[in-house]
Structure 1
Amino acid sequence: MFQKHRMIKATLALALSLAAGSALAAVSAQDAQKLKAALTPFGAERAGNAAGTIPSWEGGITQAPKGYEKGKHHLDPFADDKPLFTITKANLDQYKANLTAGEIALFNSYPDTFQMPVYKSRRSGSAPQWVYDNTFKNATSTKLLEGGTGFADAFGGIPFPIPGNGVEALWNHITRYRGTYVVRRASEAPIQRNGSFALVTSQQEGLFNYYRKDGQFADLKNILFYYLAFVKSPARLAGGAALVHETLDQIKDAREAWIYDAGQRRVRRAPNLAYDTPIAAADGLRTADDTDMFNGAPDRYDWKLLGKKEIYIPYNNYKVASPEVKYADLLKVGHLNPQYTRYELHRVWVVEGTLKPTARHIYSKRVLFLDEDSWGAAVVDQYDSHGELWRVSMAYLKNFYDLPTTWSALDVFHDLQARRYYVQNLDNEEAQTVDFTQPIPEDAYFMPSALRLRGTR
């Protein structure tokens, strides 16, 4: 048996080495120059649309609003904006061409309450110059591994700013810039059909290995990032923790995860934290690979790049994260309170993933709508095994101008059949929001042994 196991491992290693050796080429130097002309540094179209409803990109937000203090909740740079119009069930037909199937389904599921206030489109997306510089280098150096399970020779920027297929666009979402070391205290909650909810609050820390400013691809050793979370409340869960080592090529090296049980003072592996494994805190409303709209290995789906569309997506959502808005006022039956949401018309890349005939997953299809200016997924429509629309996920994007970067203020996961939803990253009632200023710890800080030591304090 041992000899057979060694033979299998050797065969897999050979297959992976052959895949790496036959990686797909990046774009030409001539095409890469478009990132300094017709395209933005991230590969979006600089020009606005013909109708004038989407403006040209002029660099996005380049400085914080007056009065902002780093580490505190973000001030709304567009606080004086008023809605241009509001999409409701009554006027839905007028706007269907610029909505996703999931957004339309939310109007049909909650015809009396779900609304989309639409504001002036502001292309606020921006990133540091060093990330733009790395993205330009990546354009001509990045190689997609055969099968799309990973890539090589990219670092510190968007790997495929001029994507040639769906899986390249997906990798842009997975590896988009969100700082290097991130610390936040935030809550999550499933919202029941009657609107009731119970928060789980945790201290979260992430080290994006891929965005170490002085690093390079060879330093990754197949680790994209480290993630650590300690539960603070409720009391029955307090002290518990989770640690994740997120790998780039998860077929070569699977994601590693550990759970710390405060009651037993024991660290144990969580080997199945991937694909459609349900997340306990989400009460069955989110799978492991739903996190961040999509994460992890892309190998169970065939991914197609369907081109671009103009879609009303959540954008510049500073109100949903405002400390002036209490959770009880924000989290309503069926969906967030539309009073605090903001939608804008933006161009998005449409990426469709269809489950392979030989693969297993609770979603037979997922369609991602990626903001062209940041590569963040703003909306994801997910279909069940019968091909029926089942769930729709939304990332309420905003510019974290203290970096800067475009990221989600809140992630919301709707189950259309259960008529419940789940919200992540609530920090309105915390003293501050995401902190990007903490010193970057050593890798040893994110090892299982350190998890045990911290958990016993």
Structure 2
Amino acid sequence: MSGRKIPMSGIAGIALTLALVSNAFAADVSELGNSLTPVGAERAGNADGTIPAWTGGDVTPVSGWKTGDPRVDLYANDAKLFSIDASNVDQYADKLSPGQIAIIKRYDGYRMDVYPTRRSCGYSQEIYDATKANVGRAKLSEKGGILEGHGGFMFPLPENGLQAIANFRTAFNGKHTKLTVHITTSQTGGSFSHDIGVIDTYSPYYEKNAREIDDYYMTKFIYKQIAPAASVGGIIMTLQPYDDSNESWVYIPGLRRVKKAPTANYDTPGKDDIRTFDQTYMYNGLPDRYDWKLVGKKELYVPYNASRLRTENLDIDSLITDKYPNRDMARYELHRVWVVEATVKDGWRNTFSKRVFYIDEDTWTPLVADLYDTKGKLWRFQENHIFMASEIPACVSAGDFYHDLNADRYVADNLVVKSADANYTAEDIVDNDFFSPDSMRRYGRR
């Protein structure tokens, strides 16, 4: 499956420059689109001038560009400002997460190239209107499920961590999408496994009549394996209810049968064995087994404007190196992020006792996550490299990376090799009826 956990009572070893959360709580709906952007970010830049004001994002497609064409990197001519590596990481520690610091210090040659900050992300007026309409209407269940609200971000003025993570769960990245993605997993000894699959998604949550189309499932996902040869034809379908745990089915080519997969949820280990199901896409599924704390805001160097991963046909062999992805392919910028801590609830267990998410204020998308084991030690580290897909319009992932800092292994997910293999406006290709067990059987026999 392609697609996205963490005791320490605080974030140790790093001084967080937090904005007062109470300031965000004091905001009201009239500030959306004024002092705040339509999704609740601070419109103004920072005092140092290193983060610019948001001016709407790059929502207009490049003239002449069409789906299937190579991406145009609007910022290809930006000069690198500086690099962060083992020689100077302590100098920048206040704007890095513990996981970022740990991976820099752990691996020789790991660096973060920092470029000017470009607040490129933006959405359609339809998303902005739906987001504003959710203010005062959106409602969560005790377990974090969505009872009321649809079509946009749930809580642009969040009051707690559960509302902040609900914003991520409803972050818009296309209503209908069809992608051919590559997933590589490093193995002990330096080799890699390489899987290729086709992903179809549909999110009825974003429809104006969402609850009429489907009152139970908010997002739907099917992944079909097309390589390597030994795994061709295998399918997994995951449907995400509004107020319940993910439901999954698998199609096994040898049996020609569709079976319910009750364990494909929460911290069940994934196929690659160094990532759990709910790590995929940074975090997915119901948030009911954690207590969620909205710590506040800080400035962080994060992966951003990653169009270079899509500008030409990606050379997987050049991108994937032994311990980490090729550093020449990664672009980092200084952005404001919400810091959200997820700590396992009393009476529950999880592979990760705590997770700390660093959620981009302009997209409500986690760009960095630090995951801690049951003894409170940093264990795994995740990054999500996003870029602006103006045809949607929305910022989407160009690749996400999952590092196990104990095993010295990592997974690279959602990599697209050919531009024609990424369609974020696939309304004519992907429909609601496709996401059913019967459809899976037919799909698996093609």
Deviation of 1:141 (Å): 1.1
Deviation of 1:195 (Å): 3.9
Q: How do 1:193-342 residues align onto structure 2 when only pairs under 5 Å count?
A: 193-212=188-207, 214-217=208-211, 219-250=213-244, 254-280=245-271, 283-342=272-331
- Note if contact 2:59-2:121 (Cα within 8 Å) is conserved in structure 1: no
- Note if contact 1:315-1:397 (Cα within 8 Å) is conserved in structure 2: yes
Match of 2:383 in 1: 394
Gaps of 5+ in 1: 1-26
2:324 and 2:310 mapped to 1: Cα distance? 15
SS at match of 1:140: coil
2:323 and 2:202 mapped to 1: Cα distance? 34
Deviation of 1:328 (Å): 0.9
SS at match of 2:403: strand
Cα deviation 1:69-91 (Å, max 9, x = unaligned): 22333211111112111111101
1:217 and 1:311 mapped to 2: Cα distance? 37
Deviation of 1:296 (Å): 0.6
The structure 2 residue matched to 1:129, chosen from 121, 125, 129, is: 125
Deviation of 1:230 (Å): 1.1
Gaps of 5+ in 2: 1-23
Q: Which one-letter code corresponds to 1:74 in the other structure?
A: R
SS at match of 2:434: helix
Question: Percent identity over the alignment?
Answer: 39
- Note if contact 2:399-2:412 (Cα within 8 Å) is conserved in structure 1: yes
Match of 1:97 in 2: 94
SS at match of 2:422: coil
Task: Name the stretch that deviates more: 129-138 or 67-76.
Answer: 67-76
Cα deviation 1:105-144 (Å, max 9, x = unaligned): 111111x211000000000010111000000100121122
- Note if contact 1:154-1:217 (Cα within 8 Å) is conserved in structure 2: no
CA shift in 2, pair 1:218/1:138, >3 Å: farther
Quick one: higher RCO (CA 8 Å, sep 6+), 1 or 2? 2
Q: Which one-letter code corresponds to 2:137 in the other structure?
A: S
- Note if contact 1:156-1:210 (Cα within 8 Å) is conserved in structure 2: yes
The RMSD of aligned alpha carbons is 1.8
Match of 2:66 in 1: 69
Task: Decide which structure has greater helix share.
Answer: 1
Whether 1:369 and 2:358 are equivalent positions in the alignment is yes
Deviation of 1:246 (Å): 1.0
The structure 1 residue matched to 2:439, chosen from 424, 429, 450, is: 450
Task: Name the stretch that deviates more: 440-449 or 341-350.
Answer: 440-449
Q: How do 1:19-38 residues align onto structure 2 when only pairs under 5 Å count?
A: 31-38=28-35
- Note if contact 1:183-1:438 (Cα within 8 Å) is conserved in structure 2: no
- Note if contact 2:71-2:419 (Cα within 8 Å) is conserved in structure 1: no
Aligned residues: 423
The structure 1 residue matched to 2:413, chosen from 421, 424, 429, is: 424
Q: TM-score, normalised by structure 1?
A: 0.89
Match of 2:13 in 1: none
Deviation of 1:438 (Å): 3.8
Whether 1:189 and 2:178 are equivalent positions in the alignment is no
1:235 and 1:219 mapped to 2: Cα distance? 37
Cα deviation 1:159-196 (Å, max 9, x = unaligned): 00000000000010111001111001111110235442
Q: How do 1:111-122 residues align onto structure 2 when only pairs under 5 Å count?
A: 112-122=108-118
- Note if contact 2:314-2:416 (Cα within 8 Å) is conserved in structure 1: no
1:132 and 1:217 mapped to 2: Cα distance? 19
Match of 1:23 in 2: none
Which aligned segments of 4 or more residues in structure 1 are displaced greater than 4 angstroms?
A: 27-30
Match of 1:144 in 2: 140
1:435 and 1:218 mapped to 2: Cα distance? 23
CA shift in 2, pair 1:109/1:321, >3 Å: farther
- Note if contact 2:71-2:312 (Cα within 8 Å) is conserved in structure 1: no
Deviation of 1:443 (Å): 2.8
Match of 1:175 in 2: 170
SS at match of 2:136: helix
CA shift in 2, pair 1:64/1:54, >3 Å: same
The structure 1 residue matched to 2:149, chosen from 141, 150, 154, is: 154
Whether 1:49 and 2:38 are equivalent positions in the alignment is no
Q: TM-score, normalised by structure 2?
A: 0.91
1:215 and 1:73 mapped to 2: Cα distance? 34
Task: Name the stretch that deviates more: 421-430 or 295-304.
Answer: 421-430
